[in-house]
Amino acid sequence: MEGKNQAGAGQECRAIVLVGAQWGDEGKGKVIDILAEKMDYVVRYQGGNNAGHTVVIGDRKYVLHLIPSGILHDGKICVIGHGVVIDPKALIDEIELLRSQGIDCSERLKISDKAHVIFPYHKRIDELRESRRVKGRIGTTKKGIGPCYADKVARVGIRIGDLYDKEYFSARLEDNVEEKNSMVKNFERSEGFCSSEILEEYLNYAEYLKGFVTDTTLLLNDALKNGKAVLFEGAQGTFLDVDYGTYPYVTSSSSTAGGACTGAGVGPSRIDRVIGVVKAYTTRVGEGPFPTEFDPGLMEIIRKKGGEFGATTGRARRCGWFDSVLVKNSVDINGIDQVVVTKIDVLDELEKIKICVAYRYNGKTYTSIPGDPRFLDNCVPVYEEYPGWMRDTSGITSHEDLPAEAVRYLNRIRELIGTEIMLVSVGKSRKQTLIYK
């Protein structure tokens, strides 16, 4: 089809967007690492170092926060698009950590000159907002993500490209520091921030990053025109999206598929396919509604078996049953063509497994989520219950060897969300991944 990047019948997809279809931590890092093998470019388009994407290769574990998970494959170009917010110190630390592990980013990492920069005052404001509130606390990662995006939208932000014009950068920074200090000093007895100190520190970061910075929009559009395969790596998950998620308990970026277009500068007509990653159950970190959350007993079991602790903050993740209402909504909002179901093995020991198929609220049954802010807090999930498989699936290498109960569970999920299952993951490593038919 013209306008699509060779994505006609029987042809390979050239531009794929991969998104988390729940509240993040679905296993996107593992799936990106697998898909990256066939791609030329892997692109982050939103979020920042609030993300934590884990890739396990052999006995080595890598946790990527800002750098696309494709970096672990030789020769892949990894792009941080302008929709990402960058803490330069965190980025440099990540580049250096990878270098110490034998992975050289110097020729393969490209950073947009239009990405916004996280400054120390963003992190402080993030912390202050969280500590001031008891009720209504979001449970952020305290990485300064929200305040940095707020500055971007308020048109007072500072972008990576600005760091290379000292006079311009210095004037904008001074203005920002003055404004932020009035806020910080109001909340706590502190000296506030010193703009000349920040200026010096950030000019050093800019010098380090100079060779990586470029016009990534041009780079990606040229790549697509030249038939290169590009994978857009979503961070967070659909229900953390600032527009679509469980507002205000969300992150501050567009973590749904549309964010790939605005955050990487690639038009919707160029995207061939959207893949959603879902866990075989549900987790969320931080505050906010969670209708299918387990009771403490089961929570403990699944958290332990699934290693459900944040890859960025180490916080214990909240765990619950698979919520097909949420994921079905996610399929619509992202235009998901196929899903990858991860962590099936974590459910191996359960005698009974539930799937939420609807909600009850004020005497009515719902299969979608209305805008009522109290809905998700007060609705009661309607469950279907299935027998567990009570067998170890972590060593299975073909979908034909999956226990019948696991197939039944997966097929019911497929039916409820109305989407093809592409892959099923039964463990952390690359080889613990099955093509599902």
Which residues contact ligand IMO by CB under 6 A? 20, 24-25, 50-53, 138-141, 143, 145-146, 235-237, 240, 251-252, 285-286, 311
Contact flag: residue 30 with ligand GDP (CB under 6 A):
yes
Name which of 97 and 128 has its Cβ closer to Mg ion: 97
**177 vs 240, which CB is nearer to ligand GDP?**
240
Question: Which of ligand IMO, ligand GDP, Mg ion, none does residue 373 bind to, with CB < 5 to 8 Å depending on kind?
Answer: none
Give min distance, CB of 294 to ligand GDP, in A: 17
Output the smallest distance, CB 197 to ligand GDP, in A: 34
The Cα–Cα gap between 97 and 104 comes to 10
Phi then psi for residue 299, to 5 deg, are: -55, -50
- Catalytic option among 53, 82, 116, 122: 53
CA angle, 130 as apex, 127 and 132 as ends, to 5°?
105
53 is catalytic: yes
Q: Report in angstroms how near the CB of residue 311 gets to ligand IMO at its nearest.
A: 6
For this structure, is 25 an active site residue? yes
151 binds Mg ion (CB under 5 A): no
**Contact between 410 and ligand GDP (CB under 6 A)?**
no
| Ranges within 345-384 binding ligand GDP (CB under 6 A) | 345-346
114 binds, among ligand GDP, Mg ion, ligand IMO, none (CB under 5 to 8 A by kind): none
Q: Which structure tokens are listed for 159?
A: 């972008």
For position 44 contacting ligand GDP by CB under 6 A, the verdict is no
* Residue placing its CB nearer to ligand IMO in the complex, 285 or 319: 285
- Binders in 310-339 for ligand GDP, by CB under 6 A: 311
The identity of residue 76, as a single letter, is K
The verdict on 25 binding ligand GDP (CB under 6 A) reads yes
Q: How many residues bind ligand GDP (CB under 6 A)?
A: 23
Q: Confirm or reject binding of residue 27 to ligand GDP (CB under 6 A).
A: yes
Please report, as a single letter, which amino acid is at residue 131. S
Between CA 20 and CA 102 the distance in angstroms is: 29
Q: Which is nearer to Mg ion, 65 or 123 (CB)?
A: 65
Please choose, out of 18-26, 220-228, 265-273, 387-395, the segment that lies near Mg ion by the rule CB under 5 A.
18-26
| Smallest distance from ligand IMO to CB 234, Å | 8
Please give the angle made by the CA atoms of 340, 294 and 358, to the nearest 5 degrees: 65
- Does position 25 interact with Mg ion (CB under 5 A)? The reply is yes
- Amino acid at site 355: I
* Cβ-based nearer residue to Mg ion, 164 or 309: 309
Helix-helix angle 120-132:145-153, to 10 degrees: 110
**Which option in ligand IMO, ligand GDP, Mg ion, none does residue 143 bind, with CB closer than 5 to 8 A by kind?**
ligand IMO
Residue from 20, 48, 52, 265 that binds Mg ion (CB under 5 A)?
52
Q: How far apart are CA 240 and CA 246, in angstroms?
A: 6
Site for ligand GDP contains 21 (CB under 6 A): no
* Site map 91..120 versus Mg ion, x via CB under 5 A: ------------------------------
* Structure-block tokens of residue 155: 């048109």
Q: Is 427 in the site for ligand GDP (CB under 6 A)?
A: yes
List binders of ligand GDP among 252-311 (CB under 6 A): 306-307, 311
Tokens standing for residue 364: 């009515």
Candidates 25, 40, 126, 241; catalytic one = 25
Active-site residue list? 25, 53
Q: Which residues bind ligand GDP (CB under 6 A)?
A: 20, 24-30, 52-54, 56, 306-307, 311, 342-343, 345-346, 425-428
